[in-house]
Amino acid sequence: MSVKHAVLGLVIERPGYGYELIQRLEQRIEGWRPSETAVYPALRSLRAEGMIRAREATADGGVVSAHRGVVWYDATDIGREEFRAWVRAPTDLAPQRDPFWLKVAFASPEDLPWLVELTRELEAACLERMAELGEQGGGVEDLRREEVEWQEIGQAWLRRTEAAQLAVRIEAVQQIRAAMKRAIQRHERRRGPALAPPAAPDPR
């Protein structure tokens, strides 16, 4: 994901400082689990490229005096232009980066009982995330109200797409678990019940 553009987008919405931006970022694109440590390098590089500018907070600088000494960032015109260009530019198809599927592809039959257990954990985690998304609302009818701002709609769609992706993952994980259970049975028939289920959690 492009943390840099996300941070730039936040600064364009309204000026902010490092810690505050991290919090806003988490709120806005929670499902992407942005890394906190990525925000400061992003700010540095945006600043170096002239897309944002820093100002020291002063009591008379029009910023909250409680945050004296904190570096606030404002978007520059270059930054606004770059962001607009980025929004409008075509997007590549994101690659599949979930390590679980790599494990599935490279596992040997002896690993399967562990992977079956992993599918259960993965599915439970997906369901938990699903429940979190559900609590944030944003039904189709709410979004059709005349007075809803685009940003709210866009935000809701970010959640809906995440939900759709979770749904696909849950179904895929269920199917792969069924396939692995069958493979374990086949393996046991051939070699005898050598594949005892794991006795202890996987030492990752």
Partner 1 sequence: MTLLALERVSKSHWRGRHEIVVLDDVSLEVEPGELVAIFGQRAAGKSTLLRISAGIEQPDSGCVRFEGTELGAARFRRLTGIHARIGWVGRQAPFASGMRMLDHVALPLLRSVAADEAERGATRALKRVGVGDLANARWHELSDAERTLVTIAHAIVRDPKLLLADDPTSGLGIEERETVLGLLRSIAEERGMAVLATVPEIPDALHSHRVMSLSDGELIQATRRAAGEVIAFPQRRDGRA
- DSSP summary character for residue 145: S
Q: Which of 101, 163, 172, 187 binds partner 1 (CB under 8 A)?
A: 163
- CA dist 67 and 65 (Å) reads 5
Q: Quick one: which segment of 7-15, 25-33, 59-67, 127-135 binds partner 1 (CB under 8 A)?
A: 127-135
Give the residue, chosen from 19, 64, 171, 186, that forms a contact with partner 1 under the rule CB under 8 A: 171
Closest CA to 110 of 13, 203, 167, 195: 195
Q: Contact, 126 vs 111, CB < 8 A? A: no
Identity of the residue, 99 or 193, whose beta carbon is nearer to partner 1 in the bound complex: 193
Which two tokens mark 109? 């039959």
Cα–Cα distance for residue pair 113/6, rounded to 1 Å: 40
Find the binding residues for partner 1 in span 22-51 (CB under 8 A).
Answer: none
Whose CA is closest to 156, among 173, 134, 172? Answer: 134
Minimum separation from the CB atom of position 118 to partner 1 (A): 12
CB 12 within 8 A of CB 83: yes
Helices within 14-52 (DSSP H only): 18-28, 39-48
Going by C-alpha positions, the residue among 12, 18, 125 that lies closest to residue 74 is 12
Q: Does 116 bind partner 1 (CB under 8 A)?
A: yes
Using CB under 8 A, which of 1, 64, 102, 127 touches partner 1?
127
- State yes or no: residue 160 binds partner 1 (CB under 8 A): yes
The answer to the question of residue 98 lying near partner 1 (CB under 8 A) is no
**164 touches partner 1 by CB under 8 A:** yes
Cβ(110)–Cβ(48) below 8 Å: no
Q: Does 148 bind partner 1 (CB under 8 A)?
A: no
Q: Which is nearer to partner 1, 85 or 200 (CB)?
A: 200
Considering only residues 174-203, where is the footprint of partner 1 by CB under 8 A? 174-175, 177-178, 181, 184, 193, 195-199, 201
- Show the tokens assigned to 58: 């002063």
What residues line the site for partner 1 (CB under 8 A)?
A: 112-113, 116-117, 120-121, 123-125, 127-128, 130-131, 133-134, 139-141, 160, 163-164, 166-167, 170-171, 174-175, 177-178, 181, 184, 193, 195-199, 201
